[in-house]
Amino acid sequence: MEVPDWGTIPRMLRDQAKNHPSDIVVADREVRISLAELRTRAASVARGLMALGVAPGDRVAIWGLNDLHWVVAAFGVWDAGAVVVPLSSRYKGIEAAGLLRATGAVVLITGESLDGSSFIDLLADATGGPVAGRPFAGLHDLRHAVVPEDRERAGTLPLFRLLSAGSRVSHAEVEERACAVRPGDLCEIMSTSGTTGTPKGVMLEHGQVLRGYWDWAEIVTLGPGDRYPVVAPFAHGFGLNAGLLACVLRRATMMPIRVFSPDLLTELIRDRRITILAGPPTLFHRILDEVDTTGHTLRVAICGAAAVPAELVRRLLERLGLERMINAYGLMEGTVVSMTRAEDPVEVIASSTGRTVPGVEVRIVDDEGAEVPAGERGEILVRGYGVMRGYWGEPARTAEVVRDGWLHTGDIGTLDPDGNLAIVDRKKELFIVNGFNVSPAEVEGLLLREGSLAQAAVVGVPDARRGEVGWAFVVPRQEAAADPEKLPEKIIAWARENMSGYKVPAHVVVVDSLPVNANGKIDKQALRERTAI
């Protein structure tokens, strides 16, 4: 079934609300929201943003946990013709300020935080407080910061005042704005780590995300009546597009999960009667080993991993009687690339991410760009509608990875004779901690801001619990070298205060110097070998 001729997210929401007004699409704790109510609430947010002067194409950042307010805010931004810039709820002030500056966001909408702290306080500590009509001295483009009612402080605008301001904008004006959005307009700028040390803003358009996640949902068989807990953060491409957006696309009920813990599994599977669940292999191992699944309603499991143990796939299909288990591959810059199908044998699901989705091509090439035979390793190149428009404000970096229409992913893979894609390595230095991409260069740059270090080098090391963790090898500045025993603890404590938790190195090793190779570059392989000692 092809994606309906919506073209844009605002038109999609209006069509769904008109034809299926009572379908419940959000179940957030005890609150249930229908398509009709989501449309109404989103339009109210859009009117408020328009009253603040938000214009088509402006960037509006959202910073909070997965909840109903995040959902409404996102659709409100899209209705206003603006671009959603998600900020990870794990960000510290330095990280959030960097993305806000890079995208030139004009409005920030905040919600709950992981630990109950104020996002506004974090930003103020990193950039300075309100000045000259702006909420933060160090963020010149940001004109307004919208906060929950109980978080109001100087320079901020509580949510109810945003909605009240919207009374100055007519319903006709917001409808005109929403319907003027075009398929080729930007809808998202997603942050993704990179090997250059600074996160990049991936630009995605309305038309491509609608098509990509309609096809994703078609293969998953997500649809009306499904109850789908969205565990991945809305600030992540999977949580926003394969969660929040996909549920409204297919009229399924999303259950936003603020903070996931294994203790939730029993409640979700037995008490909340979920039908679809996505997560890493460890999540499904826990279900089989710890959860009473008698009478469960789970029918689809989605496991986006390079490899899934074949025995796990067999146990899930046989013991739980699932309709299907899906493995998939995608990336911010290329959206959905490949997925396994229901008819695939266990061995294919376990060892590959399946075949490309409709409209997407994949090539495997060697270092010279020549295509390699089936079964041989090479870099994965992707072409099709899902390839990003580019990196926000960085045409040179865009040209490095998108050449002649092909996205050079930096991932290493193989294609079997049937076209099944297997991910076997990463050409980039990125490593993955608990499902989150970590850029060594970005962490190195942040560590040097602590003030005690002359050099820092970070490598990813396999870890049984978290997949991978970071090891930081640091050379102290002369004034800090007198007490090297206390330096690792000091650095880790600073990192916990100033970085997302998944970026914080698990180990800090103080060294006199960093090894270099024949080209004078830091020898990361030599450092990895030291982690095995």
* 19-58 per-position pLDDT tens digit: 999 999 999 999 999 999 999 999 999 999 999 999 999 9
Q: Are strands 406-415 and 402-403 parallel, antiparallel or unpaired?
A: antiparallel
CA 417 to chain centre: 32
Lowest mean pLDDT, pick from 61-70, 78-87, 329-338, 428-437:
428-437
Lowest mean pLDDT, pick from 69-83, 97-111, 144-158:
144-158
Question: In this prediction, what percent of the chain has a pLDDT beyond 70?
Answer: 97
Contacts of 206 by beta carbon, 8 Å cutoff, 6+ apart: 7, 8, 9, 78, 181, 182, 183, 184, 185, 186, 187
> What confidence category does residue 484 fall into, taking pLDDT thresholds of 50, 70 and 90?
confident
pLDDT at 195 over 60: no
> What confidence category does residue 306 fall into, taking pLDDT thresholds of 50, 70 and 90?
low
How far apart, in Å, are the Cα atoms of 424 and each of 71, 94, 136, 412, 433? 35, 34, 44, 6, 17
Q: Which helix (H) or strand (E) holds 348?
A: helix 346-351
In this prediction, residue 495 carries a pLDDT of 96
CA angle centred on 168, ends 167 and 173, rounded to 5°: 95
In this prediction, residue 334 carries a pLDDT of 96
Question: Domain 261-426 belongs to what architecture?
Answer: 3-Layer(aba) Sandwich (3.40)
Domain 431-531: which CATH number of 3.10.180.10, 3.30.300.30, 3.40.1190.20, 3.40.800.10? 3.30.300.30
In this prediction, residue 425 carries a pLDDT of 72
Average pLDDT of the segment spanning 266-290: 87
> What confidence category does residue 149 fall into, taking pLDDT thresholds of 50, 70 and 90?
confident
pTM over 0.85: yes
CB atoms within 10 A of CB 513: 9
CA 317 to chain centre: 28
> What confidence category does residue 305 fall into, taking pLDDT thresholds of 50, 70 and 90?
low
Looking at per-residue pLDDT, the higher value among 490 and 197 belongs to 490
In this prediction, residue 113 carries a pLDDT of 87
Residue range(s) of every CATH 3.30.300.30 domain in the chain: 431-531
pLDDT at 415 over 60: yes
Residue range(s) of every CATH 3.40.50.12780 domain in the chain: 9-194, 261-426
In this prediction, residue 359 carries a pLDDT of 96
> What confidence category does residue 263 fall into, taking pLDDT thresholds of 50, 70 and 90?
confident
Question: Domain 9-194 belongs to what architecture?
Answer: 3-Layer(aba) Sandwich (3.40)
Lowest mean pLDDT, pick from 75-89, 264-278, 306-320, 515-529:
515-529
Mean pLDDT in the chain? 92
